[in-house]
Chain A
Amino acid sequence: MTNGDRIPPDPEFVQLLDPDGERVEHPDYSVEFTPDEYRGLYRDLVIIRKLDAEATALQRQGELGIWASLLGQEAAQVGAGRALRPQDMAFPTYREHGILHCRGIDPIMPLGLFRGVDQGAWDSQKHKVHMYTIVIGAQTLHATGYAMGITMDGKVGTEDGEAVIAFFGDGATAQGDVNESFVWASVFNAPVVFFCQNNQYAISEPLERQTRVPLFKRASGFGFPGIRVDGNDVLATYAVTKQALDNARLGQGPTMVEAYTYRMGAHTTSDDPTRYRAGSEVEAWRDKDPIKRMRIFLTKAGIADDDFFTQVDDDAAKQAVELRERVLALPDPGPLSIFDNVYPGGSPLLDEQRAQQERYLASFEGGH
């Protein structure tokens, strides 16, 4: 069975930029960007793709333990990431490298995590991005709880209010955690946007074996709106996410956004997608590439020329080289660092264990 036997291959979704780079109008959504902003979005897309490819190569060279590639999902992440306002809080999965980019987090951060030299080292308070969550769907509960919390703190209900966004994939929609968070968010009117990147596969399991209804329609059963957007269209994703976030910050409760996209690469570097999907399917999605359509649009609209595109490619390549050099130079963590960042201010029991471990390590030749 090929993907899409039960789910319509061309779903009804919000689209502002079609695969051929044509701007299309939508009755409810539109975007107003300056030429600089348009070029900025394009630059975001290219840079996160390039850095992602470099990370994949580093894994193949033995420098990362594993890597979850975002290839194909750039527009969904940049659209959502750029729709966030500084006060908004994001709860990512382990694939949201594009969200980290949009939040100004140093691109080496996720690589340090997957190299195993730290547990995720960005300042989640400063950047307002929670740590990567490996447990599938668990972050939707964290996000819902956080959203309920800021409501109690009185930070919701004005135009400058705060909002929360939880990222997850199509596979996570089958998790209890996600459904529980839907219930809580709905009942407590929590200011949270459930942003589902439907990349068509839960590792190897195709969408039609995960659901009989389009995912965004699940939301109505829980009592809040759901909407599907072309996740390979950065403009539409931005517009839809921004609207959902604004509704949340004004106190109008949760929204589910299903960004309909496709994972062009493997689930992670440990996965071989040729074992469960046909090459023709991948080729069909290649025509819907998020960067290609943006490039055509910018060219036709006269917003950017070949010099600009070349410049962006050069910048991205340069950043990739820098990233590689910095990753290779990352120091191995000291064995005692495992005791850091457990309790603020420490704990007597852990302090004792730490001292014990220190004595043990000192018993080896050459120290540690």
Chain B
Amino acid sequence: MSSVKDFPLPDLGEGLTEGEILRWLVQVGDTITLNQPICEVETAKAAVELPAKWAGEVVAIHHPEGTTVEVGTPIISIDTQPGSGSSAASDSSGVEAGLIGGPAPGGRTAVLVGYGPRNVAAKRRPRVSSTAGGSAPAAAPASGASAPASVSAAAPAAYAAPGAASSAASAPPASVTGPGGSAAAAGPVGLAGSPAAAGPAGSVAPVGLPATAGSAGLAGSALGQPMPGAVSAAPGALARAGVLCKPPVRKLARDLGVDLTTLTGSGPSGSITRDDVMAASAGAASAVAASSASAFSAASASSAGSAFAAASAPGREERIPVKGVRRLTAENMVASAFTAPHVTEFLTVDMTRSLRAVERLRQHRDWRDVRISPLLPVAKAVLTALRRYPMVNSTWAGDEIVVKHYVNLGIAAATDRGLIVPNVKDAHALSLRQLADALNNLVTTAKSGKTPPADMSGGTFTITNVGVFGVDTGTPILPPGEAAILALGSVREQPWVHKGKVKVRHVTTLALSFDHRIIDGELGSLFLRDVGAFLTDPETALLAWG
């Protein structure tokens, strides 16, 4: 017996189906002790460290950092008796893949603690035939299909279907679309799927069905078919009844245009897996590409090295799962864009004096180790203006407006993981130097991907510096729960009328989007004008309002 054990990703929190591996804390070859932390995993609920289940030597790590893994899938293999020389096939002591997990958690609903029940079909065991026991052994070999030998009479007809469908393609289950009632369909599917077994299966199927098999649900279960699919099936859907396959994989197949009945499953009990569908899809794509290769050959030659795929390559389109920061961003944007009526106002200002002030600060010995960007005077301008117009720092809460007398200043940051908006807590109470340090910390932490979730919640006003990407300005969408957001465009040298003459000045465009339920045009304009006035002449603004 092998001493190598696979550790499957457990359900870390009451009904989760997947987790993302954030970081491996061990490497292949490491000797580890019982309960030693091996990796960090992030689920929909929490980021946690997993302790090693066994002491031993790490012989394999199955998924790299950043991958999302279904619960029940082995993630690491540990040799519990290193040096004993047995590194052959590993014992899977964990849960059989395919039992747990399944559809993405999108359709679930949060309850008081945890999440609602998972919406995945249970795996069903074969039933004993109560009367046709004698015919079972005869039926199984007669079908000549890939049914497991141990499965009995009623089951072969059902389980043989996927395998037989590919070998007996002339009689695909798709032909069985008669509207004559789902119970009746149970028998014919078995027949169509395994013609060789027609005689025995035909006689056995009614027996294998419970006496009450008048409903699609029961017929489906007798077929080893996941219940939800069968229950909701339109007549046409019965064509798939013989295919063993999880609902999300069915959807994937439908999206990719793959006919499941033409595939041979590689999963448990011959079920069709995600990989089977992807492989079939890739095969079809390359076949199409090959047939039209001559037409695109010139193009593929010229596009070599570009981000576009060559026509003959399999990756003409790429499907990126929507998850993590991307999903959160999308949800927030949709929620905000369609609940808060936005308006955006623009103001082009001469920032030359602000930049000179920043330059003077850089020369100052107390500030010599501090990185200062044009974001600093903008943040200070916003904080100063917010003090004068507190309604801008508020939240629409249905039947009341919550005005916050503190500012958690959000800074939109582009990171490898996507857009995140950490905020500086109680920014209104910080000195300019503290603000500069806080902004630097915020950005550094965000870039390294270590922003704690607490830093990303509770923001009251946000600044987005799209100028760093070289664009003039934009019309930002409000972060949910905030009444306004300021976009800072790029600061460019431009001709500008200064003291009656055209001079070259550092000019930028500010854009303020605000929630028109709370902030009228007048208030929004006053606020934006103040921010502009501060940046145009920071010394006076600080003296007047600071």
By a beta-carbon cutoff of 8 Å, the part of chain A in contact with chain B is 54, 57, 59-63, 65-66, 203, 266, 268-272, 274-278, 362-366
**Contact call A365/B454, Cβ cutoff below 8 A:** no
B53 interface hit (Cβ, 8 Å): yes
A274 touches B454 (CB 8 A): yes
Given contacts A272-B46, A365-B125, A365-B150, contact A61 B452 (CB under 8 A): no
B27-56 interface mask toward A, CB cutoff 8 Å, 1 = contact, 0 = none?
000000001000000000111111101000
**Interface residues in B1-51 (C-beta closer than 8 Å to A):** 7-8, 10-14, 35, 45-51
A54 proximity list for chain B (CB < 8 A): 35
Q: Is B508 an interface residue (CB 8 A)?
A: no
- The closest CB in chain A to the CB of B14 belongs to A270
Contact A60 B48 (CB under 8 A): yes
Binding site for A on B (CB under 8 A): 7-8, 10-14, 35, 45-51, 53, 94-95, 113-114, 125-128, 130, 150-152, 452-454, 457
Measured CA separation A266–B51 after assembly (Å): 16
Q: What is the minimal beta-carbon distance from A358 to any residue of chain B, in angstroms?
A: 14
Complex interface: chain B residues within 8 A of A266 (CB): 46
> What's the nearest-Cβ distance from chain B to residue A132, in Å?
15
> In whole angstroms, what is the CA distance A362 to B128 when docked?
8
Decide if B453 touches A274 in the complex (CB within 8 Å). Answer: yes
**Contact residues in A for B48 (Cβ distance below 8 Å):** 60, 269, 272
> Are the C-beta atoms of B51 and A60 separated by less than 8 Å?
yes
User: B12–A269 contact, CB under 8 A?
Assistant: yes
Central interface residue in A62, A274, A277, A365, by most chain B CB within 10 Å: A62
Pick from B14, B50, B454: contact of A278, CB under 8 Å: B454
What 6 A-B pairs come out closest when comparing CB atoms?
Answer: A62-B10, A272-B46, A270-B13, A61-B53, A57-B51, A275-B453
Tell me the minimal C-beta distance from A1 to chain B in angstroms. Answer: 9
**Interface contact A62-B45, CB-CB below 8 Å:** no
> In the complex, which residue of chain B has the Cβ closest to the Cβ of A267?
B113
Q: Which of chain B's residues have a CB closer than 8 A to the CB of A275? A: 46, 453-454, 457
Interface centre among A61, A63, A65, A274 (most CB of B within 10 A): A61
- A-chain residues with CB within 8 Å of residue B126 when the two chains form the complex: 364-365
Contact between chains at A61 and B150 (CB < 8 Å): no
Q: Which residues of A contact B113 (CB under 8 A)?
A: 203, 268, 270
Residue pair B125, A270 in contact (C-beta under 8 Å): no
Question: B14 near A66 (CB under 8 angstroms)?
Answer: yes
Tell me, in angstroms, the Cα distance from A183 to B452 when the chains sit together: 43
List residues of chain A with CB within 8 A of the CB of B94: 62
- The minimal Cβ–Cβ distance linking A304 to chain B, given in whole angstroms, is 27
Bound complex: CA A203 to CA B150 (Å): 50
Q: How far is the CA of A366 from the CA of B150 in the complex (A)?
A: 10
Q: Is the interface of A mostly helix, strand, loop or mixed?
A: loop
Shortest Cβ distance from residue B61 to the other chain A in the assembled complex, whole angstroms: 17
CA distance A277 to B13 in the complex (A): 20
A277: B residues at CB distance < 8 A: 454
Residue of A nearest to B456 (CB): A275
- Residues in B whose Cβ lies below 8 Å from that of A362: 128
- Which chain A positions have C-beta within 8 A of B128? 362-365
A272 touching B45 in the complex, CB below 8 Å, given contacts A61-B51, A203-B113, A365-B127: yes
Q: A233 to B139, alpha carbons, bound, how many Å?
A: 73
Asked if A60 meets B152 with Cβ closer than 8 Å, knowing A272-B45, A363-B127, the reply is: no
| Contact of B49 (CB < 8 Å), options: A60, A268, A278 | A60
Chain B residues whose CB sits within 8 angstroms of the CB of A268 once the complex forms: 113
Q: Which residue of A lies closest to B36 (CB)?
A: A57
Interface pair A60/B453, CB less than 8 Å apart: no
Inter-chain contacts of B10 with A (CB < 8 A): 59-63
- Asked whether, in the complex, the Cβ of A271 is within 8 Å of the Cβ of B45, the reply is yes
Additional A-B contacts beyond A269-B48, A272-B45, A366-B125 (4; CB < 8 A): A59-B12, A66-B13, A275-B453, A362-B128
Known: A62-B8, A62-B95, A275-B454. A270 touches B150 (CB 8 A): no
CB distance from B173 to the nearest CB of A (A): 25
Residues of A within 8 A of B454 (CB): 274-278
**Which among B7, B35, B128, B150 has the highest number of chain A CB atoms within 10 Å?**
B35
How far is it, in angstroms, between the C-alpha of A63 and the C-alpha of B10 when the chains are bound? Answer: 8
Least CB distance from A242 to B in Å reads: 34
Least CB distance from B135 to A in Å reads: 16
**Chain A residue contacts of B95, Cβ below 8 A:** 62
| Chain A residues in 8 Å Cβ range of B50 | 60-61
Please indicate the chain B residues that have their CB under 8 angstroms from the CB of A66 in the complex.
13-14
- A39 vs B167: C-alpha distance when bound (angstroms): 75
Minimal Cβ-Cβ distance residue in B for A275 = B453
Complex Cα distance A196/B10, Å? 33
Residues of B within 8 A of A57 (CB): 35, 51
- Within the complex, what minimum Cβ distance (angstroms) separates B307 from chain A? 37
Task: Tell me the smallest distance from the CB of B178 to a CB of chain A, in Å.
Answer: 29
Q: How far is the CB of A95 from chain B (nearest CB, A)?
A: 14
Closest Cβ of chain A to B220, distance in Å, is 17
Give bound CA distance, A60 to B113, whole Å: 18
Q: How far is the CA of A268 from the CA of B114 in the complex (A)?
A: 11
A271 to B45, CA, bound (A): 7
Alpha-carbon separation in the docked complex, A54 to B150 (Å): 41
Chain B residues with Cβ below 8 Å from A278 are 454
Residues of B within 8 A of A60 (CB): 10, 12, 48-51
The answer to whether B152 and A365 have CB atoms under 8 Å apart is: yes
Other-chain residue from A203, A270, A271, A274 in contact with B452 (beta carbon distance below 8 A): A274
| Chain A residues whose C-beta falls within 8 Å of the C-beta of B11 in the assembled complex | 62, 65
Measured in the bound complex, the distance between the Cα atoms of B49 and A265 in whole Å is 13
How far, in Å, is B114 (CB) from chain A's closest CB? 6
Q: Which residue of A lies closest to B114 (CB)?
A: A270
Residue of A nearest to B406 (CB): A1
Query: What separation, in Å, do the CA atoms of A70 and B150 have in the docked complex?
Result: 48
Query: How many whole Å from B404's CB to the nearest CB in chain A?
Result: 12
What are 28 pairs between A and B in contact, CB < 8 Å?
A54-B35, A59-B10, A60-B49, A60-B50, A60-B51, A61-B7, A61-B10, A61-B50, A61-B53, A65-B11, A65-B14, A203-B113, A269-B12, A270-B12, A270-B13, A270-B45, A270-B46, A270-B113, A272-B47, A274-B452, A274-B454, A275-B454, A276-B454, A278-B454, A364-B128, A365-B125, A365-B127, A365-B151
**Bound CA span A268–B12, Å:** 11
- Rounded to whole angstroms, the CA-CA distance of A366 and B151 in the bound complex is 10
Taking the closest CB of chain B, its distance from the CB of A45, in whole angstroms, is 20
Q: What A residues does B47 contact at CB under 8 A?
A: 272, 274
Q: Cβ of B53 and Cβ of A269 under 8 Å apart?
A: no
Question: Which listed residue (A65, A271, A363, A366) contacts B46, Cβ 8 A?
Answer: A271
